[in-house]
Structure 1
């Protein structure tokens, strides 16, 4: 135990030191007085073409921008005639959205002369105010998104522009690309660093005269793809939503190589080929993604766009061992389970303590879900959403299976990574009596309470029954001591469309689905209660829902069996 504690402290100290150094170096190199011209990026004579933006736009938003109404990340600002870049941002998320210029796609969707003129005026305001020096605007990830947005929307911004504006736009763009080339490698690991590599790759292909940048950009992109896209196609952060986000950039980038009559790096093509099947892996029959590790509402239009590029369209994988997930499917019933350890500390800022949680759907009805993350106000909900109690799994002594950086100087310095979580996991997949059987265990509660949590699922061949079992055992294989804390709560969060009603026996609950189907949940040897819950990842914002809860003491009742079974249909 003492050796493990010392190892954890050493690992945390190394992470904080490295993170702090990268952050300091990024700030220094982004400062206007810092001589960061170590990578030469010449001002191009012209832009050769604009990449295709696969993210759909909403033309009504362009009218709102023209009226001075800027709604981002759940916050609305009315500018009253001043530039949006001069107002006090209501939240960091709002400022990041504004400074990324991703909203230019809405003005492109409008396609009107007024929208084009307004887009050009807003970009001109930002350039005139030296926006790249603003603290939030100069963060590597925001800068990367802005470079990609400016490149993809350059026809919108530059059409009908006078030569003076054209020169200022190209110079500002080049300056930002040059800065990214120097600070991108020091961006926070995961999505931010990959976004920087993608922005450099786009710039090297779309801007003329960039032979040297092209070599640097391709090397960084290949390095990040090889490191972040796992062998089974999942992302190293374990967030399913990252697949959609990354593919929305990789697919247009592949087209850019074609436009330059250059072969894409094999790493790019391999990453796309591995990620496409994983899109199907995480989908329920209704098209929604399972809510694991920071996944929010499924962006249906973006997902449909990405899936249009999927040529295989085969049956989803059942086993994603590198990503740490398992999928069971029979006759329209789908069960997706998290059976993996937390991602490495530098990649764990958005990861959740949801080990051995699962989601279950029957046909187009989702029944069991995790709470997920909301699309907006994520900072307000992050601490709650990451807890084990927000997932359909078991907690011990009302604690989470992971420990997070949650406040103080450490959070201000290095964010909110996972400090400690399940390290030893066992996963076994088999078939018994024609049924698919999955058994997994984790040691996330072993250090604090000496308890191993083991869970098993059995899905019948006709998809009409899921038998489960939760087992709590002493980590060393001995008996529970009389004074050992061992209280557990097993939660099954229900989708808001599911209507639960408790049966008179106290052990069963009838679940009425929107299409009239009924399922029954039963735990024959345990009392089942219905409690309030909240689904944070609902498309229209957080929604009230219910959860089924079983509580007990592991030293008294270490084994809990439960079953979901299709009861009958009352359609019509």
Structure 2
């Protein structure tokens, strides 16, 4: 649904808050306060943090050859430095200036890769590092760069010539001082948390009084307590956010220990909560469920992170604070979104996928959501966030949550999702406890209807039963009357689909599943965004039904072999 009149006050509040945050940040980086960023040049790093992210030498070779591929777009600067060019998108600028790609040079490890990495860092210092302005100095981008430079300091500084060494240390120390000055003015959510992680790491790695280490650790622990739920999920409700945070937090914890510093309680308890949450969102093939901004993940990184999980128990059934259910039996896993959208300040990547689900079996995904595109094409991004891009139900092809359909607002506010569902009732069902029934009110305002979904998994995992129906809401006067409801089941591109009488046969690897429902169903085209190679064509099962029918529609997946 697009923005309605009743949503405008909320958007006005968000706009005023963002304008005030930007004004405060501008004041802190203006001429009056810029003296804070000056200071002495450290003579060395006390420690180089470990890196858990693996690299690809082929990417380092492409960068050396002048092919810079970020955020789904390619630039070839030729004889110019990449840092002299106008960049195609904010997402491209964030990836380039964040320097996370140094891991590819570290993986290559040869003299050519080392020299190229130093040249690119030196180019950044020369062309971007002298003026605190533009996308390169967005708080989250600066924090990512500080973390990357410190993590790969061995690559950059070992046997480096003295001039580069001093330029590097001067720039790194100045960026850390800049982050300390604007930390409170960083955008809420992941950007602010990344800034706090970078500051805690910088306090350990750069020569710093112990008092500053304690203050940085305290601020980080407070931010973790605010953003990480008791069940280990992140307030954005993005499963991939948990992996990204852990990939920085575990090296930080190891650096605390390596420097003989006590690990603050808030830091190690947050890690202990997040590791089981990572297993909760993990499918049978090792990938993460695609909800609320999750996209193509790094399966290798997930495997590395889970080596630090010492609990080794079965994942929880219901992540109450995060708002998800996980049903696992035999070799079958179902993960479902049974929560409300995140608060608007944290919803820049959130999706209108309430009551959507994903199904995997053994090492194969079967039913999926479309996921987040690798690039930042506005039309694809909006489509991927719609309810129709999720394995759930729509009415009249409308989304259950509303979006600010204004490019200027999207640019200014960061594409927030204006909440649709404000309440989700959820209860366990099934004799074995492997089921739930949940109801959300996202369609109450527009249509006066509540969407109810029940999903159950058999004890042996060979049958998944589901039912969808609409109940009378009564909380709002309907803005329109509609009877056309559609249940969608997006299929992973690896699934082979064929008709089997009244059923649909789904084949993947050595498995065969039958989909049946008590209504007419169709096979239509779909798109799977969350692939490391980019968007891929796939198929979806579409089941139209009458939204005003009290019985709704019942469906099931049965494993044949």
Deviations 1:435-489 (A, max 9, x none): 62210000000001101000001211121111111111110299x99x8323211
1:330 aligns with 329
Of 550, 563, 571, the residue aligned with 2:556 is 563
Deviations 1:77-134 (A, max 9, x none): 2222221101222332222211111122222222222322222222222212243534
Is it true that 1:492 corresponds to 2:489 in the alignment? yes
- Aligned positions of 1:140-179 closer than 5 A: 140-179=139-178
1:521 aligns with 515
8 Å Cα contact 2:147-2:198 kept in structure 1: yes
Change (3 A) 1:477 1:60: closer
- Aligned positions of 1:143-222 closer than 5 A: 143-222=142-221
Is it true that 1:464 corresponds to 2:462 in the alignment? yes
1:372 aligns with 371
Provide the C-alpha distance between the structure 2 equivalents of 1:210 and 1:382, rounded to a whole number of angstroms: 45
Greater mean alpha carbon deviation, residues 222-231 or residues 59-68: 59-68
For residue 141 of structure 1, report the CA deviation from its aligned partner: 0.6
For residue 212 of structure 1, report the CA deviation from its aligned partner: 4.6
- Counterpart secondary structure, 2:256: helix
Change (3 A) 1:240 1:112: same
8 Å Cα contact 1:324-1:340 kept in structure 2: yes
1:137 aligns with 136
Provide the C-alpha distance between the structure 2 equivalents of 1:174 and 1:298, rounded to a whole number of angstroms: 32
Change (3 A) 1:363 1:63: closer
In the alignment of these two chains, the number of paired residues is 556
Provide the C-alpha distance between the structure 2 equivalents of 1:437 and 1:71, rounded to a whole number of angstroms: 44
Provide the C-alpha distance between the structure 1 equivalents of 2:168 and 2:205, rounded to a whole number of angstroms: 14
Of 531, 534, 550, the residue aligned with 2:543 is 550
Provide the C-alpha distance between the structure 1 equivalents of 2:309 and 2:377, rounded to a whole number of angstroms: 31
1:48 aligns with 46
- Aligned positions of 1:305-384 closer than 5 A: 305-377=304-376, 379=378, 381-384=380-383
2:507 aligns with 512
Provide the C-alpha distance between the structure 2 equivalents of 1:196 and 1:435, rounded to a whole number of angstroms: 42
Answer 1 or 2: higher relative contact order, Cα 8 Å, separation at least 6. 2
- Counterpart secondary structure, 1:431: coil
2:224 aligns with 225
8 Å Cα contact 2:444-2:474 kept in structure 1: no
Provide the C-alpha distance between the structure 2 equivalents of 1:106 and 1:469, rounded to a whole number of angstroms: 47
8 Å Cα contact 1:45-1:209 kept in structure 2: no
Question: What TM-score comes out, normalization by structure 2 length?
Answer: 0.94
Provide the C-alpha distance between the structure 1 equivalents of 2:314 and 2:40, rounded to a whole number of angstroms: 48
2:79 aligns with 81
Provide the C-alpha distance between the structure 2 equivalents of 1:498 and 1:91, rounded to a whole number of angstroms: 34
What are the ranges of 5 or more consecutive residues in structure 2 without an aligned counterpart?
A: none
Provide the C-alpha distance between the structure 2 equivalents of 1:203 and 1:148, rounded to a whole number of angstroms: 8
Change (3 A) 1:431 1:240: same
Provide the C-alpha distance between the structure 1 equivalents of 2:407 and 2:60, rounded to a whole number of angstroms: 40
- Counterpart secondary structure, 1:496: coil
For residue 42 of structure 1, report the CA deviation from its aligned partner: 5.4
Provide the C-alpha distance between the structure 1 equivalents of 2:333 and 2:60, rounded to a whole number of angstroms: 40
8 Å Cα contact 2:545-2:553 kept in structure 1: no
- Aligned positions of 1:10-49 closer than 5 A: 10-31=9-30, 33-37=31-35, 43-49=41-47
- Counterpart secondary structure, 2:159: coil
Provide the C-alpha distance between the structure 1 equivalents of 2:548 and 2:439, rounded to a whole number of angstroms: 18
For residue 76 of structure 1, report the CA deviation from its aligned partner: 2.0
8 Å Cα contact 1:30-1:138 kept in structure 2: no
Greater mean alpha carbon deviation, residues 404-413 or residues 444-453: 404-413
Provide the C-alpha distance between the structure 2 equivalents of 1:11 and 1:42, rounded to a whole number of angstroms: 45
For residue 75 of structure 1, report the CA deviation from its aligned partner: 1.9
Greater mean alpha carbon deviation, residues 220-229 or residues 161-170: 161-170
For residue 46 of structure 1, report the CA deviation from its aligned partner: 2.5
- Counterpart secondary structure, 1:82: coil
What are the ranges of 5 or more consecutive residues in structure 1 without an aligned counterpart?
A: none
8 Å Cα contact 1:325-1:337 kept in structure 2: yes
8 Å Cα contact 2:128-2:136 kept in structure 1: no
Provide the C-alpha distance between the structure 1 equivalents of 2:298 and 2:552, rounded to a whole number of angstroms: 39
Of 101, 125, 128, the residue aligned with 1:127 is 125
Aligned CA RMSD, in angstroms, stands at 2.2
Greater mean alpha carbon deviation, residues 176-185 or residues 547-556: 547-556
Provide the C-alpha distance between the structure 2 equivalents of 1:540 and 1:65, rounded to a whole number of angstroms: 18
Change (3 A) 1:366 1:60: closer
Provide the C-alpha distance between the structure 2 equivalents of 1:183 and 1:210, rounded to a whole number of angstroms: 20
- Counterpart secondary structure, 1:410: helix
